[in-house]
Amino acid sequence: MTTTEIPTVTPSPLPPPPRRRSRVKVAIIALLSLAVLIVAAAIGFILYTGSKIERIPEAEVAALTPVASDAPRNILVVGVDTRANLPGDFENFGNPGSFAGSRTDVIMVMHFVPGRGAQLLSIPRDLRVDIPGSGTGKINAATTVGGADALIRVIQNELGIEVNNYMEIDFAGFAEIVDSLGGVTLTFENPARDTKSGFAVDAGTQVLDGEQALAYVRSRNHQELIGSSWESTKGTDIGRTRRQQEVLIALLDEAGSASNAFDLPGFVTTLAGQIRADAGLNTNVIVSLGRSAMQLRSGDIDALTLPVDITTIGGVSYVVPNAKTQPALDAFNAGDLFPR
């Protein structure tokens, strides 16, 4: 009888378990790829944003003093009183009036120190100065005489403030910027109104939309309900500059708040599309300024309206320097806190 041998079957070895190191390696590659995509998207967004800014020819701002992109800088911010781009639904709001061309309505110099803070100096538009090629006049007439370059030269010559960049915005642009953040939050001690501009708010914390914010900063007949009567307050040019500072600082607070994180790209894009600026405000500078601005809160901004006195000369109302003017300018130029 023949014995049949049963072949021995050797089981195939099981595949080794995936090594942890391989999984970690894949995760790292995925994260690096994601980081590259995020950086590429950020660079693309910055370049796109920069391309939306209307650039001012160099010859029109030749008096600017260039500085390194990460250095402290003074930016001259000018609000232009123009009707050219005012939306149709704004025509009867804020008492805009009608005239040809444009006028300089807001003059501010912002001093940015990267990683440290900012100063904001408002210059009353009725300040009496010497305008090259025109003689003595109000500072807001400089742009009418010689454009942005004339205003830059007046500020540098008359006030001793070095100007590194120039930025210009008009009425419509201001309102759209406010609306891009969902409004601006301000607190009013008393009910306030301006019967000519249409501005009206109750006491307490209020969120103003673009039209309301525009009417507030432009109000020339500002009144507050004190007791049982409406009293005129902060209606002068000095009062207007303080309101302008108040709204600008509140806008920076809104832009830097966590609740507006998802609105920030729209805000930045809207801002870029509503301003005219010199070529020196390039991508590197925008990134540096944006990083600094997003870290700022109202307490980090030292704001002041240039101290002046109101006077009449030759039948014309001006504001002129007083004993507090030069100390304020010295503090601004040194980057020190304004004297109070």
pLDDT at 59: 92
pLDDT beneath 70, residues of the chain: 1-51, 81-103, 114-116, 234-236, 256-267, 287-299
Closest by Cα among 110, 143, 105, 109 to 125: 105
What is the chain's length? 340
Compute the distance between CA of residue 333 and CA of residue 103 in angstroms, rounded to an integer: 27
DSSP 98-156: --SSEEEEEEEEEEEETTTEEEEEE--TTBEEEETTTEEEEGGGHHHHHHHHHHHHHHH
pLDDT at 323: 96
Return the structure tokens found at 250: 């509140």
pLDDT at 95: 45
Kindly give the pairing relationship between strand 204-208 and strand 223-226: unpaired
pLDDT at 273: 79
Residue 132, SS3 per DSSP:
coil
pLDDT at 257: 63
SS3 content of the chain, % helix, strand, coil (to 5): 40, 25, 30
Residue 145: φ, ψ to 5°: -75, -50
**What secondary structure, in 3-state letters, does 277-316 show?**
EECCCCHHHHHHHHHHHHHCCHHHEEEEECCEEEEEECCE
Structural domains present in the chain: 51-334 (3.40.630.190)
Compute the distance between CA of residue 239 and CA of residue 212 in angstroms, rounded to an integer: 17
pLDDT at 134: 84
